[in-house]
Amino acid sequence: MNEAQRVINHFKGIIDSTLREGFQFSRADFSPADQKKIYSTLSRIGIDYVEVGNPIRREIQEMIQELVRSRRPKDPKILCHLRNRSRDIEEASRCGVAGVNILCTIDRERLAAMGLTREKNETLLSDNLDLARAFGLEIRVGVEDFFRQDPSASLRIFKLAQSKGIDRIAVADTLGKAMPWEVFRRIRSLRRRLSLDIEVHFHNDLGHAVSNSLAALDGGANWVSATLLGIGERTGITPLSSLLANLFVLHPDLARRYHLRYLTRAERLVSRLCGIEIPPNLITNPANGFAHKAGIHLDAIVKFGPHKYEIFSPEVVGNKRNLVLHKLLSGKAASADTHSLKRLFASS
């Protein structure tokens, strides 16, 4: 089986975490009205699940409840991100969400600070999985900082989760330091040992979040966590637009499940709410995503068409072409062909 077929066979969907991980971005302060707008645009794109925060704080609980009340039948299911604590699960159940994402630490120092051993933590998790199942919730169990922790300890958590019949496990690269080849190897190893769905959540500190997500899919992961603009703690996580653009190029049959034409609109919304520009390296950036400035580029797209220097048309992601003319680097020939340039502008 080739790589493309493996990914097609394994891939099940995208879990957007703009309203949880994205909320942790230093410039994010989404009001309930903002959250509804973000949720609505994620629904237009066709995202499968939307992850929100922990409802143990009253203000967050009220935000989640309001979001749940606004949900229509075809909108993404809403999941709460929780600690391995019964109180968190009880509060999530009161909010009416579809499921819970329980994050576990296996770091001995962190556990000791909470008065727990790994064994006690696993017993606690077992009880909490029973509780979540009793509430009729979908359940995901994740391991924090997976790529720096003891693989055998992670596997014990995952096998416990599998024995309880939960819906999926999650692997988090919490420090954003994993490399694609390591990701492929570790995910493939999990895939061979477990029958559960695997979700991946990659931070972008070293710039590998998208590549790591693709490597994980190739290794057998089923779900990818992403955010609009890639915002989140520190440098953020996998940008939704970059992930979907890659799927469109590498696995178009999978990308057709989503409405990519809303991506630019969605990321503009979040950039406006956060008071920042869309990063220049994202394909949804209106000035740079499909900008052509160098004379050799302008000359080629005038003579042969935009396909010479565009991996796909800007309309795919709801963006527009930007021809940067009459600059030092743009060249006389391209700048002078105004008729052809106007035609290209009109097509975008």
Do both 267 and 306 map to the same domain?
A: no
C-alpha separations of 64 from 53, 289, 345 in Å: 8, 34, 43
Of 274, 305, 332, which closes a domain? 274
Please write the tens of the pLDDT for every residue from 193-241.
Answer: 999 999 999 999 999 999 999 999 999 999 999 999 999 999 999 999 9
Q: Are 210 and 242 in the same domain?
A: yes
Flag whether 202 is in a domain.
yes
Q: Identify which of 164, 160, 165, 150 has the alpha carbon closest to the alpha carbon of residue 107.
A: 150
Same domain, 301 and 265: no
Which token pair is 260?
Answer: 């990519």
- End of a domain among 222, 249, 274? 274
Residue 333 has a pLDDT of: 47
DSSP track, 50-103: EEE--TTSHHHHHHHHHHHHH--TTSPEEEEEEES-HHHHHHHHHHT-SEEEEE
DSSP state at residue 167 = S
Coil vs helix vs strand at 318: coil
pTM of the model: 0.93
Both 159 and 192 in one domain: the answer is yes
The answer on 264 and 317 residing in a single domain is no
260 occurs within a structural domain:
yes
The answer as to whether 309 is a domain residue is yes
Domain housing 338? 291-347
Say yes or no: 341 and 250 in one domain: no
- Whether 217 and 92 share a structural domain: yes
| pLDDT tens-digit series, residues 286-313 | 999 888 876 677 777 778 888 887 899 9
What residues in the chain have per-residue pLDDT under 70? 1, 3, 294-295, 324-348
Count CA atoms closer than 13 A to 28's CA, side-chain side.
26
pLDDT of residue 338: 54
Looking at the structure, tell me whether residues 76 and 23 fall in a common domain.
yes
Residue 115 has a pLDDT of: 95
C-alpha 150, offset from chain centre: 25
Please indicate, yes or no, if residue 286 is contained in any of the structural domains: no
Q: Which residue, 216, 239, 274, sits at the end of a domain?
A: 274
In a domain, 103, yes or no: yes
Same domain, 155 and 55: yes
Tally the domains of the chain.
Answer: 2
pLDDT of 348? 46
Assigned token pair, 309: 């220097």
In this prediction, residue 340 carries a pLDDT of 59
Question: What rounded mean pLDDT belongs to the chain?
Answer: 92
Q: Which residues pair with 13 in a beta bridge?
A: 223
Catalytic residues: 297
Whether 223 is in a domain gets the answer yes
Integer angstrom CA distances of residue 176 from 89, 201, 207, 343: 28, 10, 8, 44
Which positions ≥6 away from 233 have C-beta within 8 Å?
21, 24, 25, 203
The C-alpha atoms of residue 242 and residue 174 are separated, in whole angstroms, by: 20
In a domain, 95, yes or no: yes
- CATH number of the domain residue 183 falls in: 3.20.20.70
DSSP 3-state assignment of 271? Answer: helix
Decide: helix, strand or coil at residue 201. Answer: strand
Q: Is there a single domain that holds both residue 176 and residue 295?
A: no
Sequence-ordered alpha helix ranges (H) in the chain: 3-10, 32-45, 58-70, 86-95, 108-113, 118-134, 151-163, 180-193, 209-219, 240-250, 252-255, 263-274, 295-304, 332-336, 338-347
Residue among 263, 329, 254, 260 at smallest CA distance from 299: 329
Sign of CA dihedral 264, 26, 52, 242: positive
Q: Does 239 lie in the same domain as 182?
A: yes
Q: Is residue 235 part of a domain?
A: yes
For residues 137 and 99, is the Cβ–Cβ distance under 8 A? Answer: yes
Rg of the chain on CA atoms, in Å: 22
Q: Are residues 19 and 92 in the same domain?
A: yes
What pLDDT is attached to residue 298? 75
Distance from the first to the final alpha carbon of the chain: 39
